[in-house]
Amino acid sequence: MSDLFKNYIAGQWVESSTGQTFERRNPATGELVGTYTKSGPEDVDRAVAAAKKAFQSWRLYPAPKRGELLFKVAHILDQRKEEFAREMTQEMGKVIDEARGDVQEAIDMAYYMAGEGRRMFGQTTPSEMRNKFQMSIRKPHGVCGIITPWNFPMAIPSWKIFPAIVTGNTVVFKPASFTSRMGLRFVEVLEEAGIPAGVVNLVLGDGKNVGDPLVEHPDVPVIGFTGSTESGIDVSVRAARKNKRVSLEMGGKNAVIVMDDADLDLAVEGILWSAFGTSGQRCTAASRVIVHRSVQGELSERLAARARKMVLGDGLDPKVDVGPVVSKRQLESINEYVKIGASEGATLVTGGGIATTGLLEKGHFHEPTIFDNVTANMRIAQEEIFGPVVSLIPVDSLDEAIDVANGVQYGLSASIFTRNVNNAFRAMQDIFTGILYVNAGTTGAEIHLPFGGTKATGNGHREAGTAALDFFTEWQSLYIDYSGKLQRAQIDEVAL
Task: Give, for all 496 residues of the chain, the pLDDT tens digit.
Answer: 347 999 999 999 999 999 999 999 999 999 999 999 999 999 999 999 999 999 999 999 999 999 999 999 999 999 999 999 999 999 999 999 999 999 999 999 999 999 999 999 999 999 999 999 999 999 999 999 999 999 999 999 999 999 999 999 999 999 999 999 999 999 999 999 999 999 999 999 999 999 999 999 999 999 999 999 999 999 999 999 999 999 999 999 999 999 999 999 999 999 999 999 999 999 999 999 999 999 999 999 999 999 999 999 999 999 999 999 999 999 999 999 999 999 999 999 999 999 999 989 999 999 999 999 999 999 999 999 999 999 999 999 999 999 999 999 999 999 999 999 999 999 999 999 999 999 999 999 999 999 999 999 999 999 999 999 999 999 999 999 999 999 999 999 998 8
Residues 271 and 298 placed together within one structural domain of the fold: yes
pLDDT attached to residue 1: 38
Q: Do the strands 12-14 and 20-25 form a parallel or antiparallel pair, or are they unpaired?
A: unpaired
- Do 275 and 369 lie in a common domain? yes
Residues 225 and 176 in one domain: yes
309 and 425 together in one domain: yes
Say how far apart CA 69 and CA 78 lie, in whole Å. Answer: 14
450 part of a folded domain? no
Say how many domains are in the chain.
2
Same domain, 434 and 463: no
The verdict on 135 and 63 lying in the same domain is yes
Q: Are strands 435-438 and 347-350 parallel, antiparallel or unpaired?
A: unpaired
The pLDDT value given to residue 3: 79
Answer yes or no: do 401 and 304 share one domain: yes
Q: Are strands 473-481 and 222-226 parallel, antiparallel or unpaired?
A: unpaired
CA distance 419 to 230: 38
Q: Where does 102-226 show beta strands of DSSP type E?
A: 123-125, 132-140, 143-147, 170-174, 200-202, 222-226
CATH at residue 325: 3.40.309.10
Whether residue 134 is found in the same domain as residue 66: yes
- Kindly state whether residue 113 falls inside one of the protein's structural domains: yes
- pLDDT (0 to 100) of residue 496: 85
pLDDT value of position 2: 47
Residue 322 lies in a domain: yes
Check whether residue 68 and residue 143 sit in a common domain. Answer: yes
Q: What is the per-residue pLDDT across 363-386, written as a single tens digit (0 to 9) for each?
A: 999 999 999 999 999 999 999 999
Q: Which residues pair with 139 in a beta bridge?
A: 474
> Measured between alpha carbons, how far is 289 from 393 in angstroms, rounded to an integer?
6
Q: Would you say residue 452 lies in a domain?
A: no
Q: Residue 198, exposed/middle/buried by CB under 10 A (0-12, 13-18, 19+)?
A: buried
Instruction: Note whether residue 395 is domain-resident.
Output: yes
Within-domain flag for 74: yes
Distance CA 182, CA 40 (A): 20
Q: Does residue 152 sit in the same domain as residue 284?
A: no
Q: How far apart are CA 365 and CA 148, in angstroms?
A: 24
Q: State the pLDDT at residue 477.
A: 98
Give how far Cα 390 sits from Cα of 69, 222, 255, 348, Å: 43, 36, 10, 10
Active site (catalytic) residues = 249, 283
Whether 23 is in a domain gets the answer yes
Q: What is the DSSP string of 285-341?
A: -EEEEEEEHHHHHHHHHHHHHHHHTPPBS-TTSTT-SB---S-HHHHHHHHHHHHHH
CATH code for the domain of 200: 3.40.605.10
**Residue 445 within any structural domain of the chain:** no
3-class DSSP assignment, residue 225: strand
Residue 99 shares a structural domain with residue 202: yes
Torsion of CA 80, 85, 88, 92, to 10 degrees: 170
Domain range for 267 is 254-438
Q: Residues 356, 290: one domain?
A: yes
